[in-house]
Amino acid sequence: MSKWSDDDVILYDGVCIFCSRWVRFVAARDTAKRFRFTPIQSDYGAKLARAFGIDPGDPDTNAVVHGGEAFVKSDAALTVLSQLPGWGWVRMLFAVPKPLRDRVYSLIARNRYRIFGKYDACFVPDAELRARVIE
């Protein structure tokens, strides 16, 4: 994947209820406040998405920039989780073959609106989380 100057930025679909819950889940456990978030619907998020080959109009993955590199699909989720206090054990899931992990990830991603729903507009985080959102 390409390099990106900002580090520890999570790109997510801001109208996806599941994705927004993912952001709140990470933020609540990220006691060091290392991760920042950007909805793909924002100017910054769309630019980041395009830089990594993700269609901002039809996102099929979230992504995270960590260590200057972008990770997508299951690699993104496992990379983020493995950086959270008490979640280091998920690193062992990298042993599961990537095609299998990504197949499961893609199945959920393709059906996320149908299963979890969709907001009419990007969700608005509370003030504390808002300070960690890049638009």
Domain count, the chain: 1
Q: Is the pLDDT confidence value at 112 over 70?
A: yes
Asked whether residue 41 is assigned to any structural domain, the reply reads yes
**DSSP-assigned beta bridge partners for residue 39:** 12
Asked whether residue 130 is assigned to any structural domain, the reply reads no
Asked whether residue 73 is assigned to any structural domain, the reply reads yes
Question: What is the average per-residue pLDDT within 55-63?
Answer: 85
User: Where are the strands (E) in 21-85, listed by range?
Assistant: 36-39, 63-66, 69-72
0.75 exceeded by pTM: yes
Q: Which residues contact 83 (CB under 8 A, 6 or more apart)?
A: 8, 30, 34, 35, 66
* 75-107 pLDDT per residue, tens: 999 999 999 999 999 999 999 999 999 999 999
Domain span at residue 117 reads 9-122
Is-contact 65 8, C-beta < 8 A?
A: yes
Asked whether residue 1 is assigned to any structural domain, the reply reads no
Asked whether residue 127 is assigned to any structural domain, the reply reads no
Strand order in the sheet with 36-39: 36-39, 9-12, 63-66, 69-72
Asked whether residue 115 is assigned to any structural domain, the reply reads yes
